[in-house]
Amino acid sequence: MMMKKIYGILGDPVAHSLSPVMHNAAFEKLGMDAVYLAFRVSKAELEDAIRGAKSLGIAGLNVTIPLKEKALLFVDAEEVAKKIGAINTIDFGSGTPMGYNTDGIGSMQVLKETVGELKGENVLIIGAGGAAKAIAFYLYLEGAKVTLANRTKERAAQLAATLSNADAIGLGAEFKKQIKASDILINATSVGMHPHEDATLVNADMMHQDLVVFDIVYNPVETKLLKEAKRAGVKKIVDGVKMLVYQGAASFKIWTKEEPPIEVMEKAVTDALASE
């Protein structure tokens, strides 16, 4: 008798994650005997958790804040994930935990649908964690001009140094000046995520009307940042739902080798957010 396949997400916190809703809808649509669960795991327990998942026969995992960079230490990773320095997907199919990063893939799909050609665009990314690393790396490959802004400028500088076409700044006066010079602003931090919906690092008076504002936070769908962007009358506003769906779909394909039912996955997320 075939055992039910188990997938999951590791994070801390993780109760807010809609990945279980999204992936379980996909499994149901495709008639797969599988379940996706959320596991709260601290940084200190991460190595044990990954080793334990392998021992228990778990088929695949996602990794979210704040574990994406540390998780890279405990898997064999594909070359792109190594260059990024963070993973968000682990596949146990070969017996050895293999690490991948689908955050960059997801974000590029969203941006290409929204903006089109990214070459030569001035992009300001807030953050220097796992998601920021992935997005910055893929933007660099697309030929965009990337500036990384972080509370700790040194951390942004370390990341910028790995990309030949990137700058690093703090969140002071130079940050406000850079927003005015940017074509695209991306929040790649958890600022504004439930339950801290009133938090934002950028207000309407810091923005300009030709700006595209993309927040990777998806809960709430309209973050404080996006409300401020709307108030500023920016060119385009992009919420985090599509990125969640696209990165999740890429993970799904890595694990199952099946084509993910993207529309079903997106509907599951939007329905869950609407019912909260």
Question: Which positions are catalytic?
Answer: 68
Q: How far is Cα 114 from Cα 112, in angstroms, rounded to an integer?
A: 5
Q: What are phi and psi of 40, to 5 degrees?
A: -80, 120
Other CB atoms within 10 Å distance of the CB of residue 258: 12
Helix, strand, or coil (residue 156): helix
Q: 147 with 124: CB under 8 angstroms?
A: yes
- At 89, which helix (H) or strand (E)? strand 89-91
* Separate counts of helices (H) and strands (E) for the chain: 11, 12
Nearest to 127 by CA among 201, 71, 67: 201
Q: 205: Cβ–Cβ under 8 A, 6 or more apart, which residues? A: 232
